[in-house]
A and B are shown apart, each in its own frame.
Chain A
């Protein structure tokens, strides 16, 4: 039997070979055309929302009676509608409407959801029960139905659309945050912090809140797509910005009578909505996969 004598005696720290929460080495990033396309599209979308004139110099409301219902081609890349307005210009200008409504509604849902979820996760059982059952009841309704109900009471318009979608998506965020709060609340480090004699508000601000909100930004990005889709849907039903505003849903609605003769009036704004939702989901999922377990 061979005896191989080891190296001199020193303390060797345990080698941590695989820590699942932290990839030892970042994988060499493969080119991902889908992700790249989604990112480019979203950048264009933001430019369109902030400075539409940079992409299309025309006026989205300018009617050209001589070019009514002209098909896509040079001069009018997306064609014109029944009043001779340039569809591309209207789609670009519509991005602002959709993004504003989507971002505002999502912000409302996230802020409200985090606060109510934290409250539910941290209060006594009765209050938690009451809040949680309310979230459950609200989640039982389809989101669009809930938003419709609110708009029926509050009246149509951009502001009520924002509030309606915000309230309708809030329970989802609240439930995620509540669950996360319960986990963090029972964790070893919160328990340990109690033994340091820290006050309750300090505990919540220092340990609970930061560890709870980790997954929220990614959920918000994915939720944003949902909110934009809902906004377009409600506008289609006439619940959002009123014509002649170049809102995507409203444009779809206006163009649907001409679907047989001029498909481009409806289809192209519809594609803009689809591409936005798909891009947001792709980017959101990518971030989710990338940051999963690495919120810290």
Chain B
């Protein structure tokens, strides 16, 4: 029998005002019936465009060419919108990243799924409601009858994603295209969604899984295609590809994933098979009694709702404390309080042996420069009118004379691996990684003793993330800066932190040296976090958990 999907020499170009941009440059692959094929790549690799092309959704400015483009024995080249409508939902369903934008906010979940049933005339009107709740039950949405009457905004991220999957499978498609289906989700919810996708495949549906995350792919995929700049650089069975990657780019991607094994080593740069990455520079010794920050009994309420409850921890000079937790755990609130941007309702914060929270801003101001903040979205933290040079120069102290400022800024940019040619550029013209480097240059300008990093690499591609993490590790070694490193990614925290704090529903459920906490978790929540984590078995690594 012919494969379900056959793609041969697919090219997709986009007409932009600046000219034609090639997004996909001649890729070929097949998906067999009941098989799960994963397409892995970083942003701009063309993976989403490939997936969307299979549904005729590449967009009006896309120019699609292919030697063969077949879906269930049907040549879809030259399909008109009307033909595509028969393909979508019935032959192939799409599950995209953000269910909140994919589901109509003005319609109930039930109506949304019901529409698919009506469009493809799958059931009679009388049977529709029953079929909808059956579908919601299939995706394990609790209390399907009630949920069907709810609107997308009334559901949590995980439930929304289930509802979206229910709408995608409503037309009983033979192919499910999942474009980053778990990227916006917490790790425990991600595990549930992955299980759900695996279930669909067991039910005989083929799966085309698009992801930037190799660990996610490892869970479900039979075969993996690695995409880069619109070309397939490597493909093969998942197991073989992860254990013995042949192409340097695949090896580089795998080696860039931060985890327990990568501790103390660089993540970025080319990697050869089986080799070990260079070690990071040695750090000044950390003395536990030499504290920079002392937080005691921190509590924050919003009305009735307590978002942070009795949180206490210390950070020693030069130490890196990881703070992990899922969304809504209160970790960002802690960051904002410690950064002096939010007042606490109870508790004390002492920074460099002086009271920090609950004191007048005037008293805090001289110390402010000693504590810096790096956020997830650097662009929004830059004044929109400022050039790179001005952004960095703003945080130079008054002690730096006007004449020396430029030299200082150039020096700071050089330290974060950026050239002086960026001085007059606008941050909007930079890539995500470059922007975060600018933010780091600005943060280290006043030589702070503590930097709060609030999800600093969450928005970055894995190889860019690797470079930024390497940079942070280098800087803390040379400057002896302490870091409060906040992340939802356990692997990143395990890679970088000395000690870790696990937060759940506003409280600290566990803290201790990172190796102990992640190897012998004592609290149930920490254990569930670790169990939910997709495991990645890779070259030279034993069957070991990822973080």
Contacts and interface: CB of A to CB of B under 8 A. Distances in A.
Contacts of A192: 373, 375, 381-382
Contacts of B27: 2, 4
A23 B229 CA distance: 24
Contacts of B464: 11, 14
A12 interface: yes
A9 B341 contact: no
B411 interface: no
B232 A3 contact: yes
A24 B394 contact: no
Contacts of B266: none
Contacts of B9: 2
A5 interface: yes
A200 B364 CA distance: 13
Contacts of B431: 13-14, 16
Contacts of B381: 188-189, 191-192
Contacts of A189: 380-384
B28 A2 contact: yes
B369 A1 contact: no
Interface stretch (B122-130, B163-171, B245-253, B275-283): B245-253
B18 A25 contact: yes
B211 interface: no
B365 A11 contact: no
Contacts of A196: 368-369, 394-395, 446
A95 B85 CA distance: 62
Interface in A1-29: 1-7, 9, 11-19, 21-25, 27
Contact of A17 (B16, B270, B385, B434): B16
A15 B394 contact: no
A194 B17 contact: no
A210 interface: yes
A60 B21 CA distance: 64
A65 interface: no
A5 B247 contact: yes
A159 interface: no
B340 A195 contact: yes
A187 B461 CA distance: 25
Interface in B462-508: 463-464, 467
Interface string B324-366: 0000000000000001110000000000000000000100111
Nearest to A195: B373
Max chain B C-beta neighbours (<10 A), residue from A11, A195, A199, A211: A195
B228 A6 contact: yes
A21 B379 CA distance: 13
B184 to A, nearest CB: 19
B2 interface: no
A199 B383 contact: no
B456 to A, nearest CB: 13
B521 interface: no
A209 to B, nearest CB: 11
A113 B481 CA distance: 46
B44 A12 contact: yes
B246 to A, nearest CB: 9
B502 to A, nearest CB: 26
B88 to A, nearest CB: 25
B289 to A, nearest CB: 27
A10 B29 CA distance: 26
B380 A11 contact: no
Max chain B C-beta neighbours (<10 A), residue from A5, A7, A21, A196: A196
Closest 10 CB pairs of A and B: A197-B368, A13-B431, A188-B380, A25-B17, A14-B431, A296-B385, A4-B231, A188-B381, A192-B381, A6-B228
Given A6-B247, A9-B252, A211-B384, 18 more contacts: A1-B28, A2-B8, A4-B26, A5-B233, A9-B249, A11-B433, A12-B44, A14-B433, A15-B44, A187-B380, A192-B375, A195-B373, A196-B394, A197-B367, A197-B369, A295-B384, A295-B385, A296-B385
